[in-house]
């Protein structure tokens, strides 16, 4: 059987629902953006091979394309439970958890797993360094000693006390090599999350993917201008 021939695969699958080859057909449908058929093939195949990592990964992509982020997360976690070294699933899980706004300690665990699979992963390195350096920063102790009350002499005007607050600047943790984001994962929500975390180059890459998908050029252009401004400001700081 020719695995590149869709008709042959469809005929074979119709007679063999228990075939281990179901992810091949499901992936063909996914490439054609036929999400309904891709999901159906995965659902049938996973009934017979419930922990098949290839089938679960395609199902995760279908869930993501349909905006079911929590279901996507579940599928990816299931993959990594049985296929610990699935790098693509590990990377995708980090992206999805970022979009879902998961806690930093949960994201840290996911990024550390990515780094264990790929020690040269720049985004994982930068995220882990950022979080761990923030955790080890010593916090200033509160001064509990009573403050002296200043006495004002007659005919002497009291000078107002002005406390100067430190100006917080956004911290940029630009990776040397931006994380590759597939067009199916690209959303304006992900752009906003990456932008707020200081991952400007990644945010620009997601905008490129959105442009390829045919999203609003006006919105994309506005986001690009904003990000370029943030990059310039971070360099000045």
pLDDT digits (tens, 9 = 90+) for 23-47: 999 999 999 999 999 999 999 999 9
DSSP-assigned states of every residue in the chain: --TT-HHHHHHHHHH-TT-TTHHHHHHHHHHTT-HHHHHHHHHHHHHHSTT-HHHHHHHHHHHHHTT-HHHHHHHHHHHHHH-TT-HHHHHHHHHHHHHTT--HHHHHHHHHHHHHH-TT-HHHHHHHHHHHHHHHSPPPPP--SPPPPPP--TT-PPPPP-PPPPPP-PPP---SSPPP--TTT--HHHHHHHHHTT-HHHHHHHHHHHHHHT--HHHHHHHHHHHHHHHHHHHH-
Check residue 67 and report its DSSP letter: T
Q: What does the block give as tokens for 87?
A: 């790098």
The segment with the largest mean pLDDT, out of 3-7, 35-39, 191-195, is 35-39
Domain positions in the chain are 174-237
Two tokens, residue 40: 């159906």
Question: Is the model's pLDDT at 163 over the cut of 90?
Answer: no
Q: Which is it for the CA torsion 185, 191, 197, 198, positive or negative?
A: positive
pLDDT averaged over every residue in the chain: 80
Residue 51 pLDDT > 60: yes
Find where tokens 């955790």 sit.
135
Contact (Cβ atoms closer than 8 angstroms) between residue 93 and residue 179: no
Tell me 177's DSSP state: S
Q: Which residues fall within 8 angstroms of residue 100, CB to CB, at 6 or more apart?
A: 69, 70, 73
DSSP tag of 101: T
Does pTM top 0.95 for this prediction?
no
Task: Calculate helix-pair angle for 53-65, 87-99, nearest 10 degrees.
Answer: 30
pLDDT at res. 93? 96
Residue 29 and residue 41 in contact, taking contact as beta carbons nearer than 8 Å? yes
Tokens at 210, concatenated = 């959105």
pLDDT number for residue 183: 58
Asked whether the predicted pLDDT for residue 158 surpasses 70, the reply is: no
């Amino acid at each position: 059987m020719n695995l590149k021939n869709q008709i042959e695969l469809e005929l074979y699958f119709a007679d063999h629902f228990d075939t281990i080859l179901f992810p091949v057909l499901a992936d063909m449908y996914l490439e054609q953006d036929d999400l309904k058929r891709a999901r159906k093939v995965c659902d049938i195949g996973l009934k017979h091979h419930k922990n098949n990592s290839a089938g679960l990964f395609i199902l995760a992509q279908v869930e993501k394309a349909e905006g079911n982020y929590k279901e996507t997360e579940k599928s990816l976690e299931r993959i990594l439970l049985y296929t610990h070294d699935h790098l693509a699933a590990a990377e995708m899980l980090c992206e999805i958890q970022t979009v879902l706004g998961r806690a930093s300690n949960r994201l840290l665990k996911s990024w550390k797993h990515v780094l264990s699979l790929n020690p040269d992963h720049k985004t994982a390195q930068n995220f882990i360094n950022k979080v761990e350096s923030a955790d080890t920063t010593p916090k200033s102790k509160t001064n509990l000693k009573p403050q002296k009350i200043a006495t004002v002499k007659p005919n002497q005007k009291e000078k107002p006390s002005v406390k100067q607050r430190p100006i917080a600047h956004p911290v940029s943790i630009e990776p040397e090599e931006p994380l590759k984001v597939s067009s199916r994962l690209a959303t304006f929500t992900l752009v906003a999350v990456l932008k707020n975390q200081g991952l400007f180059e990644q945010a620009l890459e997601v905008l490129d993917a959105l442009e390829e998908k045919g999203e609003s050029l006006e919105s994309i252009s506005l986001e690009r201008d904003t990000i370029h401004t943030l990059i310039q400001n971070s360099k000045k700081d």
